[in-house]
C-alpha cells in the first residue's frame, strides 16, 4: 500500500517538479520551470497567494494555488487552481488541497472564487459548490505552413518588444485588457506590479514578442512566452482605435515566424468562447482546438 500524500506549502525549489506536474495535466499551457519559479517568488502582497504541493515518497504529485485577484477593482475576487497527477487521482488529494485553499481564501477576505477545470474535473468542482459560467478554449499550432504574412499598413512600424518602452506596452495592455471577456474587469493593474509580474517574467521573450507602433504609441502587440520547444501567447491586444485593420493578425504572424526561426515548434493559446475577434484571428492562423476548460465560480460564505 502506498504512503499517504502530504500537503505542504510550495517553495521556489519545487519549481521544476511543479512544472512537470503541470505539463502532464495541461501540456497545452506551456509553462516553464523558470516561469513557475517566478510565480512562486514574485507576487503582490495584496494577493495573499498560497501555493501548495502534495508530496508522496519524495515525489510531487499535485500542485495547487489560490490568491486574491488584485488586478480588478471589485473587492474579494479570487482564483484557485488544482492539478493532480492522473496517477494519483481519486485518493482525496484534490479535496484536501481544495479544503486548505478555500479556508485560506475565506481568511483573507475572498467572497468569490473563480476556477477553470477540464471536463473530467467538472463533477469534482460541482460537488464543491462551483457553477459554470464560461468556456475557455485552448488551441495549438505547429509552426509549419503559416498563412502568408499580411502587408504592413502605412504608418505602422513592426518592432520587437525589446525595442519598446515598457510604459507604452503597459498602456496598450491595460487598455486592450479592459475588453477581454472576464467575470471581473481587469481595471486596476498597477504599473510596478505589471513590470514585476509580466515585463520581468523570465518566460516573456521580448525579442520574439511583437508590437505594431503608430509613432510612439503601441497600436497592437502580442506577447510570447517560451517553454523549451513550445511557446505560449500570453496576450494579444489592439487598442480600440486601431481594431479591425488586421493588426492582431499581423503581429501574431510576425511573432510566430520569429519563434519558428528561433527553433520553437509549436504554439499554444487560450481564448474565451465569447471572444469572437481573437478566435477569428487564431482560426486564420491555423490554430486547432486541443482542450476546452470550464470557467466556474463559487461564492464563499461571509
Ligand X SMILES: CC(C)(COP(=O)(O)OP(=O)(O)OC[C@H]1O[C@@H](n2cnc3c(N)ncnc32)[C@H](O)[C@@H]1OP(=O)(O)O)[C@@H](O)C(=O)NCCC(=O)NCCS
Q: For residue 173, give the nearest of 218, 226, 206, 231 by alpha carbon.
A: 218
Calpha distance 8→6 (Å, rounded) = 7
Shortest distance in whole angstroms from residue 280 CB to ligand X: 3
**Only segment of 1-9, 75-83, 126-134, 237-245 that touches ligand X (CB under 6 A):** 237-245
Shortest distance in whole angstroms from residue 97 CB to ligand X: 28
**Only segment of 46-54, 93-101, 106-114, 238-246 that touches ligand X (CB under 6 A):** 238-246
Binders of ligand X in range 163-202 (CB under 6 A):
176, 179-180
CA atoms within 13 A of residue 126's CA, in its CB half-sphere:
9
| Interacting residues of 259 by C-beta distance below 8 A, sequence separation 6+ | 143, 208, 224, 226, 231, 267
Q: For residue 136, give the nearest of 112, 113, 114, 117 by alpha carbon.
A: 117
Q: Is 135 in the site for ligand X (CB under 6 A)?
A: no
Give the chain's radius of gyration (CA, Å).
19
Shortest distance in whole angstroms from residue 238 CB to ligand X: 3
Residues in contact with ligand X, shown as a per-residue x/- string from 252 to 291 under the rule CB under 6 A: -------------------x---xxxx-xx--x-------
Q: For residue 172, give the nearest of 149, 154, 194, 155 by alpha carbon.
A: 194
How many residues at the interface with ligand X, by CB under 6 A?
23
Shortest distance in whole angstroms from residue 225 CB to ligand X: 13
Q: Is 244 in the site for ligand X (CB under 6 A)?
A: yes
Shortest distance in whole angstroms from residue 1 CB to ligand X: 45
Q: Is 237 strand, coil or helix?
A: strand
**Only segment of 14-22, 192-200, 245-253, 290-298 that touches ligand X (CB under 6 A):** 245-253
**Which of 72-107 are b and which e, b meaning 16 or more Cβ less than 10 Å from the residue's Cβ?**
beeebbbbbbbbbbeebeebebbebbbebbbebbee
Q: For residue 156, give the nearest of 216, 205, 208 by alpha carbon.
A: 216
Shortest distance in whole angstroms from residue 267 CB to ligand X: 13
Q: Is 32 in the site for ligand X (CB under 6 A)?
A: no
Residue found under cell 485577484: 69
Calpha distance 293→300 (Å, rounded) = 22
Binders of ligand X in range 102-131 (CB under 6 A):
none
Residue with Cβ nearer ligand X (169 or 247): 247
Shortest distance in whole angstroms from residue 32 CB to ligand X: 20
Residue with Cβ nearer ligand X (11 or 241): 241
Q: Is 141 in the site for ligand X (CB under 6 A)?
A: no
- Interface residue with ligand X among 249, 260, 264, 287 (CB under 6 A) is 249
Q: Which residues pair with 112 in a beta bridge?
A: 77, 299
- Interface residue with ligand X among 30, 64, 220, 256 (CB under 6 A) is 220
Q: Is 180 strand, coil or helix?
A: coil
Calpha distance 183→224 (Å, rounded) = 25
* Interacting residues toward ligand X by CB under 6 A: 176, 179-180, 220, 235-238, 243-249, 271, 275-278, 280-281, 284
Amino acid at each position: 500500500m502506498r504512503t499517504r500524500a502530504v500537503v505542504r506549502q510550495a517553495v521556489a525549489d519545487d519549481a521544476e517538479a511543479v512544472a512537470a506536474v503541470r505539463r502532464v495535466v495541461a501540456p497545452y499551457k506551456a509553462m516553464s520551470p523558470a516561469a513557475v519559479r517566478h510565480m512562486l517568488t514574485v507576487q503582490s502582497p495584496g494577493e495573499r497567494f498560497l501555493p501548495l504541493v502534495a508530496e508522496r515518497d519524495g515525489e510531487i504529485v499535485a500542485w495547487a494555488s489560490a490568491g486574491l485577484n488584485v488586478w480588478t477593482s471589485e473587492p474579494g475576487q479570487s482564483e484557485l487552481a488544482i492539478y493532480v497527477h492522473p496517477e494519483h487521482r481519486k485518493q482525496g488529494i484534490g479535496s484536501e488541497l481544495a479544503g486548505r485553499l478555500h479556508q485560506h481564501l475565506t481568511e483573507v477576505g475572498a467572497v468569490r472564487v473563480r476556477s477553470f477545470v477540464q471536463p473530467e474535473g467538472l463533477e469534482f468542482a460541482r460537488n464543491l459548490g462551483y457553477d459554470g459560467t464560461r468556456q475557455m478554449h485552448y488551441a495549438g499550432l505547429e509552426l509549419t505552413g503559416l498563412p502568408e504574412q499580411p502587408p504592413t499598413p502605412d504608418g505602422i512600424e513592426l518592432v520587437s518588444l525589446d525595442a519598446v518602452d515598457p510604459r507604452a506596452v503597459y498602456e496598450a495592455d491595460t487598455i486592450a485588457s479592459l475588453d477581454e471577456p472576464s467575470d471581473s474587469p481587469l481595471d486596476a493593474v498597477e504599473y510596478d506590479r505589471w513590470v514585476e509580474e509580466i515585463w520581468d517574467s523570465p518566460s516573456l521573450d521580448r525579442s520574439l514578442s511583437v508590437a505594431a507602433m503608430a509613432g510612439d504609441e503601441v497600436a497592437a502587440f502580442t506577447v510570447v512566452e517560451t517553454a523549451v520547444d513550445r511557446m505560449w501567447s500570453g496576450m494579444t491586444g489592439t487598442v480600440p482605435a486601431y481594431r479591425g485593420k488586421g493588426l492582431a493578425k499581423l503581429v501574431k504572424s510576425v511573432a510566430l515566424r520569429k519563434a519558428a526561426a528561433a527553433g520553437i515548434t509549436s504554439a499554444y493559446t487560450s481564448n474565451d468562447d465569447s471572444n469572437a475577434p481573437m478566435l477569428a484571428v487564431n482560426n486564420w492562423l491555423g490554430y486547432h482546438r486541443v482542450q476546452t476548460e470550464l470557467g466556474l465560480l463559487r461564492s464563499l460564505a461571509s
